[in-house]
Amino acid sequence: MKKTFVLVVLFIFPVVAYLFFASGVNNFGKLPVVTENVQDVSAYSDVVTFKNKITILGFLGADVDFKKGNALNLNQKIYKDFHQFNDFQFVMLMPKGTEANVEVLKTELAGLASIEKWKFVFLEPAEINTVFASLKTDLELDANLSTPYVFIVDKDVSLRGRNPEEDHTTVYGFDATSVAELSNKMIDDVRIILAEYRMALKKNNAERDI
């Protein structure tokens, strides 16, 4: 009897767990689109675009040191686990004049993982406000053009989040000051959108082989 129990734990339970989580992704389906037609940063940058990328978008503002903890939280909880996925990037929209402080921040971020997919784009205040306004959230940038919230923008340049059906209210972004929110909410949503694109890619490849 004891041996049977051990065998169940070692072999059957992992299979059941796998099927549970696999079916969970299928049941949840796509991460909801909460805003379409986000302003692509390519309108202001020759080297960075949201198109055909899964983007974590942030606004660290003029006081980089004040928001450094947010960037480090994101680096630890989100970036290090997902940066090796193709077409995945972090884009931080920064006011012009913050270049030197960003270089210091990049040095600290590089202590955990390669930062090649951290993209810092330096813009005029009006340009930052235009991109932020296009997200159509219930949030605001502060006087330093910053917000603690970060956003998931998909390959079609739409904002992904949670509808009231998934949460008690529409979730447009995730508070990077909260390690709990990054660990308990955002990481799940990033996994869902990555799984969505992986499944779409497999389906397209299978159809080509037919």
Give per-residue pLDDT as tens, 64-101.
999 999 999 999 999 999 999 989 999 999 999 999 99
Work out whether the CA dihedral 176, 178, 181, 184 comes out positive or negative.
positive
pLDDT above 70 for 160: yes
User: 50, 91 in Cβ contact below 8 A?
Assistant: yes
Structure tokens at 204: 């397209």
What's the rounded mean pLDDT across residues 177-186?
A: 96
- Tell me if residue 122 falls in helix, strand or coil: strand
What's the rounded mean pLDDT across residues 187-191?
A: 96
Domains defined for the chain, CATH in brackets: 30-209 (3.40.30.10)
pLDDT above 50 for 155: yes
The rounded Cα 37 to chain-centroid distance in angstroms is 17
The CA–CA distances, whole Å, from 105 to 68, 150, 158 equal: 7, 17, 28
Please give the backbone phi and psi of residue 56, each rounded to the nearest 5 degrees, phi first: -95, 110
Q: What percent of the chain has pLDDT over 70?
A: 80
Give per-residue pLDDT as tens, 6-32.
444 455 544 444 334 444 443 446 899
Query: How far apart are the C-alpha atoms of 145 and 98, rounded to whole Å?
Result: 12
